[in-house]
């Protein structure tokens, strides 16, 4: 297989490859530092990386990959029990960290190597690696048990990044700005490995801020990657920040992922800047599956069309393919292609149950497909598909409708058992004005007028904030627990 990062292994130059705050590395210096990491880890099976948002994390992961070893990124916010499980399961030979990082107790018995970004090792060469060789082991969120380690082969990284280059017209001239965590595929694979595969540059904010976004886009960055929480903060800041408006208006590409971006925020950003945010759809096990194309219609509320090389279908509960591309018929997304993970580490049972007999991966995500092939996600099968009164209803479209109400700041929708309807729709609302929240009837009528009467919420719960994970996704299982507490 050819190198994952040709700009590092062929003739690295003085162009800036990575910048974290005021620290940066050229391609030549990155090749030297990654080569030094590679010398220390070569021949190992798996190596853990303490994945802080730092130059050391990026250098460590790149060095491990170029040495043909699998990297296990560790979330610095993980609790002791989760870290202990991941270490037992993945059995890394050592952990890479930035000098001075204090590691928690579960990691103190593991050999440690500090990443020296100024070190100079031999030029890395991963040309002998096979496309099926493991590149990353990324642990899922573990909502239904201990986290599972998704083994991502080198083939999947190359296929996803090359497909995105096609869809987004992504080249070495692009400079990406992002502030995403580096233990997740969004921030690490797309946000660091993506620019390096193209021969471009990434500027990591360390910690997301609208001021940082404006500064970087105004000084040469061409692309912004973010999650909905980040774009919501941008939308909130735009009316009082002309510098941010100008910076976003000059960007080549604004991309949102990891969760659905509410249509309301889409429209506020477009109205203020004239630029549309595009969405893509992926997950840990599949990397990227679909995207709105740079040369396509940036249709709010959709995740575009399948990427080159990716097969996608919707299926009924019995596995029968959904034939209707009518924007209404809901089915579970199944995908097949070179972007898929190899297995769940040490879990042959879970791996087998994740795939159909003919190799389609069951994503658990529910969607509809428009007549022109655009995909619109309506939610997770386990938490966002509500069966009420004989209808299959996706929570996502109701959430978007609720967010159009001026009295609603945040919204989530779940289903709860109902003797008459099977399930009834429950809206969880963070009011714009806690002293004067919109009433239950007002919100129900608001939704019914925009969607259909059977999609209106039958109950409303008011919260100070919605529970979210590190990527900004709403944790609906926590809402279910809240519901049982009354």
Q: Per residue in 434-461, pLDDT tens? A: 999 999 999 999 988 888 788 899 999 9
> What integer pLDDT is reported at residue 245 of this predicted model?
98
Q: Provide the mean pLDDT of the chain.
A: 92
Pick from 241-245, 383-387, 431-435: least confident: 383-387
Hey, CA dihedral for 292, 297, 302, 306, is it positive or negative? negative
Q: Is the pLDDT of residue 229 over 90?
A: no
Token couple for 33: 């530092």
* Band of residue 390 on the pLDDT scale cut at 50, 70, 90: low
Poorest-confidence range of 23-27, 228-232, 379-383?
379-383
Between the CA of residue 339 and those of 160, 163, 309, 365, what are the distances in Å?
A: 6, 9, 8, 17
Q: Residue 40 has what pLDDT?
A: 96
Residues 6+ apart with CB under 8 A from 420: none
Token duo for residue 58: 């990026």
Could you give the angle at which helices 263-273 and 395-403 cross, rounded to 10 degrees? 50
Segment 324-353, tens digit of pLDDT:
999 989 999 999 999 999 999 999 999 999
Give the domain 6-191 fold.
Answer: Rossmann fold (3.40.50)
CB 49 within 8 A of CB 95: yes
Residue 471: the pLDDT is 64
Confidence of residue 116 (pLDDT cuts 50, 70, 90): very high
- What pLDDT sits at residue 474? 82
Q: Pick the more confident residue, 323 or 381.
A: 323
Burial label for 313, CB within 10 Å (0-12, 13-18, 19+), is: middle
Q: Which of 219, 155, 161 is nearest to 192 (CA)?
A: 161
Alpha carbon distance 282, 259 (integer Å): 9
Helices 242-249 & 228-237 angle (0-180, nearest 10): 130
Q: What is the rounded (10 degree) CA torsion for 65, 69, 70, 74?
A: -80
Q: pTM to 2 decimals?
A: 0.85
Q: What percent of the chain has pLDDT over 90?
A: 76
pLDDT of residue 484: 42
pLDDT for 223 beyond 60: yes
Q: What is the pLDDT of residue 486?
A: 46
Residue carrying the six token digits 């924007």: 327
- Report which of residues 395 and 188 the model is more confident about: 188
Least confidently predicted of 158-162, 213-217, 443-447: 443-447
Higher pLDDT, 256 or 390: 256
Phi-psi region of 150 (alpha: psi -120 to 50; beta: other; left: phi over 0): beta
Q: What superfamily does domain 385-484 belong to in CATH? A: ANL, C-terminal domain (3.30.300.30)
For residue 148, pLDDT beyond 90: yes
pLDDT top residue among 481 and 416: 416
Report whether 56 contacts 23 (CB < 8 A).
no
Domain boundary assignment for the chain: 6-191, 385-484
Contact by Cβ (8 Å): 12, 201 = no
Average pLDDT estimate for 188-206 = 98
pLDDT, position 144? 54
CA distance 35 to 15: 18
Give the model confidence (pLDDT) of 270-314 as tens digits. 999 999 999 999 999 999 999 999 999 988 889 999 999 999 999
Q: What is the mean pLDDT of residues 167-178?
A: 98
Planar angle of CA 84, 87, 93, nearest 5 degrees: 145
What residues form DSSP beta bridges with 415?
425
């Amino acid at each position: 297989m050819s190198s994952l990062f040709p700009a590092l292994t062929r003739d690295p130059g003085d162009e800036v490859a990575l910048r974290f705050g005021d620290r940066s590395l050229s391609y030549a210096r990155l090749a030297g530092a990654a080569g030094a990491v590679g010398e220390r880890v070569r021949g190992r099976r798996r190596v853990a990386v303490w994945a802080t948002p730092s130059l050391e994390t990026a250098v460590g992961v790149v060095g491990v990959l170029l040495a043909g070893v699998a990297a296990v990124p560790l979330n610095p916010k993980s609790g002791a029990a989760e870290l202990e499980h991941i270490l037992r399961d993945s059995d890394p030979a050592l952990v890479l960290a930035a000098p001075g990082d204090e590691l928690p107790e579960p990691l103190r018995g593991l050999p440690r190597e500090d990443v020296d970004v100024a070190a100079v090792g031999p030029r890395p060469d991963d040309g002998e690696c096979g496309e099926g060789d493991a590149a990353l082991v990324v642990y899922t969120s573990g909502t239904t048990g201990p986290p599972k380690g998704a083994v991502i082969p080198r083939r999947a990284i190359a296929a996803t990044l090359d497909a995105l280059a096609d869809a987004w017209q992504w080249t070495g001239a692009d400079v990406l700005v992002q502030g995403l965590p580096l233990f997740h595929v969004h921030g690490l694979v797309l946000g660091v490995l993506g620019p390096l595969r193209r021969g471009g540059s990434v500027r990591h904010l360390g910690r997301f801020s609208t001021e940082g976004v404006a500064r970087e886009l105004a000084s040469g960055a061409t692309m912004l990657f973010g999650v909905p929480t980040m774009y919501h903060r941008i939308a909130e800041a735009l009316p009082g920040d002309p510098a941010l408006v100008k910076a976003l208006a000059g960007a080549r590409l604004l991309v949102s992922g990891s969760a659905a971006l509410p249509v309301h925020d889409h429209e506020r950003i477009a109205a203020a800047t004239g630029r549309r945010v595009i969405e893509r759809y992926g997950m840990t096990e599949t990397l990227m599956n679909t995207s709105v194309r740079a040369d396509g219609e940036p249709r709010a509320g959709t995740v575009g069309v399948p990427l080159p090389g990716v097969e996608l279908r919707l299926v009924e509960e019995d596995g029968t393919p959904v034939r209707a591309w009518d924007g209404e018929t809901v089915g579970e997304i199944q995908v097949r292609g070179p972007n898929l993970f190899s297995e769940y580490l040490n879990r042959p049972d879970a791996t087998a149950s994740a795939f159909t007999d003919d190799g389609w991966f069951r994503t658990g995500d529910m969607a509809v497909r428009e007549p022109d092939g655009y995909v619109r996600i309506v939610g997770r099968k386990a938490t966002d598909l509500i069966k009420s009164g004989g209808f299959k209803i996706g929570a996502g479209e109701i959430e978007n409708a609720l967010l159009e109400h001026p009295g609603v700041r945040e919204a989530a929708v779940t289903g709860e058992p109902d003797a008459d309807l099977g399930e009834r729709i429950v809206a969880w609302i963070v009011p714009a004005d806690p002293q004067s929240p919109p009433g239950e009837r007002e919100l129900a009528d608001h939704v019914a007028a925009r969607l259909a009467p059977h999609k209106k919420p039958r109950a409303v719960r008011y919260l100070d904030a919605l529970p979210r994970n590190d990527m900004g996704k709403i944790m609906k299982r926590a809402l279910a627990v809240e519901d049982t507490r009354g």
